[in-house]
Amino acid sequence: MATLIRFFKPYRVLSQFTDSDSRDTLARFIDLPNVYPAGRLDFDSEGLLLLTDDGALQAHIANPIYKLEKTYLVQVEGKPNQDSLNQLTRGVQLKDGISRAVRVTLLTVSPSFPERDPPIAPRHRETSTWLQVILNTGKNRQVRRMLAAVGHPVLRLIRTRIGPWTLSNLQPGEWRRETVHLPQ
């Protein structure tokens, strides 16, 4: 049995407990000893971050060999056409190799999340589109780089799922503790 923390990481919070530049870190929100992030989420991204007190579980979540799917809701500039969406699933050439999404879906209704602080500029909101992007890899800033490569820079990125774990009604800055069985 291991402790697992599901945390809704707010915008502009580091996925670590300390920072020499005095930026917000996990320590501002989580005051539990001996739990560590299982993977990362960029400073300027929001959403689900998992933490655990168990090294085997941490490795299972973070190690790309297990190919846990990660779901992101992404607000992008403009409206990608079907060719752009297909390119994301066929593969986009990045500096560190080809990156492919498992699935990309154009959302017809904007998701309901609390407004980000600071909010997206009104001029961008009027011409932006929301996508659901599912990956089973975890390269640095992968979603942002893939979408920029097809001409649709990311305005807001929120991870909603890692494997079986979801945000499940958490608000930014909130966390829930669970006890889980270690994967076999």
Quote the CA–CA distance of 41 and 19 in Å, as a whole number.
Answer: 15
Instruction: Evaluate whether 26 touches 36 at the Cβ level (below 8 Å).
Output: no
State residue 184's pLDDT score: 62
Quote the CA–CA distance of 93 and 74 in Å, as a whole number.
Answer: 20
State residue 101's pLDDT score: 96
Q: Which residues of the chain have pLDDT under 50?
A: none
Do domains 1-66+165-184 and 69-162 share one topology? The answer is: yes
State residue 105's pLDDT score: 96
Per domain, the residue ranges of the chain are 1-66+165-184, 69-162
Quote the CA–CA distance of 24 and 38 in Å, as a whole number.
Answer: 18
Quote the CA–CA distance of 161 and 49 in Å, as a whole number.
Answer: 9
DSSP 16: S
State residue 180's pLDDT score: 87
Active site residue 42: yes
Token pair for 68 = 């846990």
Claim: this prediction has a pTM higher than 0.85: yes
State residue 183's pLDDT score: 64
State residue 144's pLDDT score: 96
CATH architecture, domain defined by 1-66+165-184: 2-Layer Sandwich (3.30)
CA dihedral angle for residue 95, residue 159, residue 10, residue 41, rounded to 10 degrees: -40
Catalytic residue among 19, 42, 53, 83, which? 42
What CATH number has the domain spanning 69-162? Answer: 3.30.70.1560
